[in-house]
Every structure is written in C-alpha cells, then in structure tokens.
Amino acid sequence: MKKFTLVFLVTTILVSMLAFHNSTKLPDVKENIVKEKEMPNDWFFQQRAFPYDYINYEAYQEALAQASEQKEAARTSGASKSWKFAGPVNVGGRITDIEMHASDQQTIYAGTATGGIFKSTNAGTSWFPVFDKASSLTIGDLAIAPSDPKILYAGTGEANAGGGSSTYDGLGVFKSTDAGVTWTYAGLDKIRNTGRIVIHPKDPQTVFVAGMGDLYGKTPDRGIYRTTNGGTTWQKILFVSDSTGGIDLVINPKNPDTLYAALWERVRTINRRSYGGATCNVYRSFDGGTTWTKLANGLPAATVNSGRIGLAISESAPDVVYAIYADKVGAFTGMYKTINSGNSWVKVNDSALSSMFATYGWWFGRVHVDPTNPDVVYAIGFDLYKSTNGGSSWSNIGGSVHVDHHSIYVHPKNPNFVLLGNDGGVYISKNAAGSWSHVSTLPITQFYTCEVDAKNPQRLYGGAQDNGVHRTMTGNLNDWNSIVGGDGFVALVDPVNNNYVYGESQNGALVRSTNGGASFSSGTNGISGSDRKNWNTPVIFDPANSQILYYGANRLYKSTDRAVSWTAISSELTKGNGGNGLGTISCVAVAPSNSSVIYAGTDDGNVWRTANGGTNWTKISASLPVRWVTRIAVDLQNPLIAYVTLSGYRYDEYLPHIFQTTDGGVSWKDISGNLPAAPINEVIIDPADNKTLYIGSDVGVYAGSAAGNWFVLGDSLPNVPVIDLTLHQPTRTLVAATFGRSMYKYDLTATTPVIEETAALSSLTVYPNPVSSSARISFQMEAQENGKIELYDFSGRLAGRLYEGAFVKGYNEFTWNPGENKNTVLPNGTYICRIVSGKMVASGRIQLMR
C-alpha cells in the first residue's frame, strides 16, 4: 500500500482475538476436531497469539490501561488538535445486537462488533456513540430493563465464533441508569464474551447473563450468571464444563421465574476447532435460575455432532418457545417448537431453511418471535427467513439486504416496525419486513486498509471486513461505494497514473483496473496457485517506479508491467511448514533510495533482506523476537536503516514491538520506549523529517522516533484498533483505518517533527518532576555549542521555548519557573522537554502540576 507519495508500504491488519491461558484443572469434555476447508481463517487470532495458541489476556489489559493513561495525559495537557472523521457512514459494519424499549418508538440502541454502542432518538435517522469511554468497544449483547427504559446493561465481548474478523474478548458487563449517558462497570470480566443478557420484567436489579467464556481456550468462567443487586455481586447458577458456555437465554415475561438457556460446547485454538459436542443442550428453570433441568422430549439428543442453539420466547403467549439448531460444522439441523413451556417439542416444517446457515451456524444461529403473535417467527442466519404460521412454511425475506444476520427486533406497539442487524449494519422495515431500508448514518465500518489517491487526495480507498474494497471520489462521508467484493484488503492507486487501481480480497485475490476503478480484471497471472498466500496478502509499489509491484506469497513475486504478469524473485522465505495457515510473507518494503534493496517479513517470525533485487537473500531476524512480522519501513535516504514492527503479547518476558537497524539487519535496537506493549500494525517514516515515525497499534496512533520517546497523536480517535495508516505528504494528511469506526484524518501541518537522537548531548534530567513552582533541567555536553530548550505538548506542537543560546562543554543546568514568562504559561499536563544542539537532540517528559 502507498504510505505517502514517495514511499509505499504494504497493509496488514490487526484485529484480534484473545485467548486466556487457564491452568485450572477441570473435567475434560470430549474434543471434536473440525478441519473442514470451509472453516474461516484464524488470521487475527494467530497474529496476536503466535508462537503460542493463546494470548496473554493480562498483558492486553495492561496495554489498554497504559494507553488510557497516556491518552488522558495528552487530553489534559492542553492539546486541542483532534482527528477528523473521514467516513464512511453509508457502508455499515457488523451489528451484534439492536434493541428498543416497548414504551418508546423513537429510541434505538445498536451494539457493534468492534465500534461500541450507538443510540438514535429519532427512529434511526441519526445516531451518536454512547460507550466510547470504555476500554473495550466490542459488544456482545444489550438489554433494556422492561420496567425502566433508562436502565441498560451492555455485555462486552462478541460471542459469535467468527474467523478472521473476530475481535478481542470483552472486559465484562457495564450498566447505565441514565439511558446510556454514563456507564459503570458491573462485573463479570472473566466471562470474556457475552451470549445474552435478560432482565427481570419488574425488577431491574435482577439480571441474568449467558457467559460464553474465552472463545480460544477452556475456562471455568463459562455458564449462566445471576445478580439480584444490579451487578454488585454475581452468582454462577448453571455450569456444565470448562468448554461449554451460555450462548442464549430467554425469560418468561409473565412468569419471570421461568427461564430457558442454551449452552454451547465450543473451544477453538490454532490447532483445534471444536464447534460442538455432547454438552450442547437446552435447559429450563422454574425457580428463577436456582435449579435447572436439561430438556428433551422432542428435542434432538445431544451428540458429538451437536452445535450452536438459539432460543426465542413468545411475549404474547410465553408457553410458546422456539429453538433453532446447528451441528458442529455449522449446518442447519432443525427448528423446534414447544407450546407447553418446554415439556414437549416438535420439529416444524423447516425444509426451506436447510441451506440457511450455509455451514456457518456458529456465526449467527438466532430465532426471534413477533411480540404480538406467536406464529410470526424470524429465523436468523446467513439468510433471513420469516414464517407467519408457526413454522409450517417459510419465506426468504433477506434478498435485498446484506447477509450474515445477528439480531432482529420487532416493536411490540408497532410490529410493522422491524430492525435488523447484520454484517452490513442496521436495516429498518416499516412493513413487517416486507421491504428494507439501509441506515446510512452509522460510522462503524471495520477497515483493514486505507489509501489516498496521490493526485486527488479527496479520494479515499479502504478494504473492509465482509464489505470489500470501498472508496469515495469526493471525500464526502456518505457516498462510498464498493469496487471489489469479498473481504476487502489491499487498495492501491498508482501515484503517477491513477487510472491504474488495484484491489484485493482474502487470500491474495488481486485484481487490477486500467480505467480508474470502473472495471477490474485478474492481477495474479504468473503467481503459482500452489503457493501459500496470507489472508491479507501484501502487495506494494516500488517507491521509485509505480509500474513495478511486489506480491508476497511464501515466495516474493515481482511485476514490471503493472500486475499484468508476475515472476518469483525468491525461494521459500518462511519456515516452510505452512501449518495452521502460517508460512506466508506478511509484509514487504523496498528502499526508496535503492530499489535493489528489499526487505520481507513473514508470519512465522522471519525477516529477510536482499541487496541485489532478489538474486540473493539474507535472513536478518536471528536476534529479533519470534513473532508475526507486521510491517517494515526503510529509511528514505539510507537503505541500511529500517524499522520492523511485531504483533503478539508477552508471556513471562519483555516483548518489544518495534525495532530499528542501522546496518541492514546485522543488529537491531529496541525502540519501543514508552509505548504500551501491544501489537503494532503499521509504521510510517515522515517524508518531511526522516527521523519522525508514526505507528498504528492495537491501542492507538503514536508519533516518535528511534530514541524511544513516543506520544499519543491527537485526540478524539475512538478507542479501537488502528490497522493501517497512509500519509499524503503534499497536504500533510495522515489517514487512519480503524477496525470498527471507519476512517479518520489528522492534519500534520502544525505538528513539529520529533527528532529524538542523542550523541553530543546526554544525561537529561528534570528535578523535581512533577513540577509545581520550579524545576532544574540539566544535561551533559561533549562540546560547547549553541542550542535551545523547548517544550512540546503530546500532540507534537511547540508549547514554549525556555532557552536559546550557548551550551557549555560538560554540565549544563537551567532553572524553569512555570508561569514566570508569559510565553511559557502552560496548563497542567505532561510535556516533552526537548534539548536541541546542532543536529543532536535529547528529550524527556515533564509533568506539570500546580
């Protein structure tokens, strides 16, 4: 991907899954290994977990906490520069739940997979976020108290068992008593992912939660939970095994002591996919959840092939309950109905639903009953079906909407008003699902990549989860359109001739356009079909010649004719095993000053370098941590200087995520400095200052340098993973692709480059620190030189110049009295003290607290 008008870097992604390593010994459940070819790619999870089969959840939480502190420090330091939303709002993204209250036909809440919670107060015309202060914006389920529309519960962590697009585990349940204005933590952080929340119809303090648990490991924290004091304390009231979690839960609205729960045996790691088993069953309680009975009598007997189950209860006739079943592979196996509160069940005529899940029943598998009519039923899967006769016949009603449905809501006061949530966003029907209109005002697209047309910077491009490659030709927020289908990844626009546009979908399916993106043809001629390709296959321009492109499989390919044909220029660059989807090139970089120098990183921890255009390759990663290599950037003038970023989380060790080499990879220097220890997905070298770096990480965007001093770049960026960055140098615009909140822009014109190297100047100290009334700034000089002492805020802007003049050889000390000089009156906060002497620079942080 082009990162600015001179240098091009490939795009990788982030978005992630967590697996919590639990050593508690519990009874084993028979494991069912599923290795079907049609299973989704584990790209996000593998990237974070490699070389393990789980992610250290504590390390993730520590990184989030550190990032939150840094963002708050930047905000309170007086930095006012903000990221600007760049769109789109009309593309959509994955909705996990959508809810209204029976008393209100205007207020809607929508929970998203990675973008938090949005609220509308005008029946879906406009929306605004209400959960952005939370550390985790991945939403599993929402619930509104039937007795009080101001009381909401939000369960974080998406329980849908997706593949490459899966997200981080959640951080528990949160509660609002003011209709979403503020939220407080309500416990259950260890359930990781929330299957369903139901609230007692008369007592909002009594809440039940279906906890799916860690999706990538066994845990004793799965099951059904109950609180009777609004979340102050919780009791686990139904537990089957450490591999079986709560995926669905319904409550009888007229007799709330009656509940039904669906439990799902599900564990997935890099080496194992178990989407079912003999503990997948439906349970019932008649005493408010204290005791439970496993239901049978017409329901299919659980076997090793059983899978996900969805439940729905009729509000108007609560003796009627529906259950939808899938097998362990995800294929639909039946729709069942009871009219006597679960005492007996019959299979309805569901032949029309046989292909509804398309073998992906673990990705959705829900059922919903019209609250005014027990015979009106909606089956939610890959497609969307409706029955008006209690399941005797079904009609496909999803032909005009996006596939992959996760939630539906029918308003009890107006059952013609139906809301639908799927991987394409929110849809609204005003005629009982007879027709649909797409909500085109939600900024929730899950982008993997971003691109700017160098000649027309208002034209933005991006590859998105399950929404292909999209672009805007005007820079507007609401006119983005799809130009490539599938899961969208790489998007490239030739900076010299923008008639040449390139797009990519999953597993390296590259296409090329010669008419500005109006039409596309295959761009993989010459690339071996037997070569391994990454889920997000890297494709980049040669920064010196955009007619030349590079494509990374398990070998590196080169095209000299704008992707008309390709030739391999390397042998195997990975460890060669190719197991579990690994063994591919994950990033490529060409030296801007010498096109013969090429670097390549792999998803199994290798970094390679060639100095002769690919004739000979040298592995240069022996001293680097063995982690998934996410990005490489090469110095603009010196091909021996390069930066490598890594994914992964630490486990019983220190794990840096960004390194610099100044000798072509012979040696590496950890430059992580004060960065949170989270995966870094992108690094860009500022073309206006060869030593200033910008990185996009799982916890935000930072600016810094090889000295390891980093600061949060700007504010107002939602707390979601930043997967890709692109810098348009002529306009000094940095574009960020977020996984869940679309794209943002940042104006770099007022941001001073951050050069942070030390040589002739060292031992910078500030005492006392924090500073209240006075501080001494001291440092050592190897020679007498003129210089200056400056303060920068955490947006990178000059906040004040404390001194300019001569520095003596040896020890230098200066006294700073905040507020004494009108030019240095600053608000409380954190600042970077920067000492500049000739070409040498040192810096340190100062906390001002008066």
Q: Are 410 and 418 in contact (CB under 8 A)?
A: yes
Q: Give me 69's structure tokens.
A: 């502190």
Residue written as tokens 């008593």?
A: 177
Q: Are 210 and 175 in contact (CB under 8 A)?
A: no
Spans of all domains in the chain: 98-438, 451-747, 761-848
The predicted structure's pLDDT at residue 20: 28
Percent of the chain exceeding pLDDT 90 equals 71
The predicted structure's pLDDT at residue 841: 63
* Three-state DSSP class for residue 287: coil
Q: Are 527 and 508 in contact (CB under 8 A)?
A: yes
pTM of the model: 0.85
Higher pLDDT, 642 or 820: 642
Contacts of residue 97, defined as CB under 8 A and 6 or more positions apart, other chains included, come to: 110, 111, 139, 140, 141, 142, 406, 407, 421
Percent of the chain exceeding pLDDT 70 equals 90
**Average pLDDT over every residue of 439-443:** 97
Length of the chain: 850
Q: With residue 57 as reference, give the H or E element that holds it.
A: helix 57-76
Q: Please give the CATH architecture assigned to the domain spanning 451-747.
A: 7 Propeller (2.130)
Q: Are 32 and 228 in contact (CB under 8 A)?
A: no
pLDDT of residue 488 exceeding 60, the answer is yes
What CA–CA distance (Å, rounded) separates 115 from 447? 11
Q: With residue 618 as reference, give the H or E element that holds it.
A: strand 618-619
Closest Cα to residue 14, out of 738, 674, 537? 738
Higher pLDDT, 80 or 396: 396
**Average pLDDT over every residue of 485-509:** 96
What CA–CA distance (Å, rounded) separates 752 from 733? 14
Q: What is the pLDDT of residues 104-131, one digit of tens each?
A: 999 999 999 999 999 999 999 999 999 9
**Average pLDDT over every residue of 535-560:** 97
What CA–CA distance (Å, rounded) separates 701 from 84? 14
Which segments within 275-400 are labelled E, that is strand?
Answer: 281-285, 293-294, 306-313, 321-327, 332-338, 346-347, 366-369, 377-380, 384-387, 395-396
pLDDT of residue 826 exceeding 70, the answer is yes
- Burial letters 794-830, b for 16+ CB under 10 A, else e: bbbeebbebbeeebeeeebeeebebeeeeeeebeebb
The predicted structure's pLDDT at residue 12: 31
pLDDT of residue 324 exceeding 70, the answer is yes
pLDDT of residue 429 exceeding 60, the answer is yes
**Average pLDDT over every residue of 482-511:** 96
- Pairing type for strands 775-781 and 810-816 reads antiparallel
Q: Give me 46's structure tokens.
A: 């593998």
pLDDT of residue 22 exceeding 60, the answer is no
The predicted structure's pLDDT at residue 788: 87
What CA–CA distance (Å, rounded) separates 391 from 376? 8
pLDDT of residue 508 exceeding 90, the answer is yes
What CA–CA distance (Å, rounded) separates 570 from 557? 7
Q: Do domains 98-438 and 451-747 have the same CATH topology?
A: yes
pLDDT of residue 10 exceeding 50, the answer is no
**Average pLDDT over every residue of 284-306:** 97
* Three-state DSSP class for residue 552: strand
| Radius of gyration of the chain, Cα coordinates, nearest whole angstrom | 28
Q: What is the pLDDT of residues 193-204, one digit of tens each?
A: 999 999 999 999
Q: How far is CA 770 from the centre of its chain?
A: 35
The predicted structure's pLDDT at residue 235: 98
Confidence of residue 3 (pLDDT cuts 50, 70, 90): very low
Q: What is the pLDDT of residues 343-363, one digit of tens each?
A: 999 999 999 998 788 778 888
Supply the DSSP symbol for 525: T
In degrees and rounded to multiples of 5, residue 244 shows phi and psi of -125, 120
Q: 595: how many CB neighbours lie within 10 A of its CB?
A: 15
Report the topology of domain 761-848. Answer: Immunoglobulin-like (2.60.40)
Q: 482: how many CB neighbours lie within 10 A of its CB?
A: 15
pLDDT of residue 63 exceeding 80, the answer is yes
Q: What is the pLDDT of residues 757-813, one digit of tens each?
A: 444 455 678 888 888 888 888 888 888 888 888 887 654 567 788 889 999 988 889
DSSP 123-150: TTSS-EES-TTSS---EEEEEE-TT-TT
The predicted structure's pLDDT at residue 840: 62
Q: Give me 821's structure tokens.
A: 């000089």
Supply the DSSP symbol for 751: P
First to last CA, the chain: 46
What CA–CA distance (Å, rounded) separates 824 from 803? 11
pLDDT of residue 8 exceeding 50, the answer is no
pLDDT of residue 291 exceeding 50, the answer is yes
Q: What is the mean pLDDT of the chain?
A: 89
Out of 509-513, 559-563, 580-584, 818-822, least confident range: 818-822
What CATH code would you report for 98-438? 2.130.10.10
- Pairing type for strands 693-697 and 272-274 reads unpaired
* Three-state DSSP class for residue 60: helix
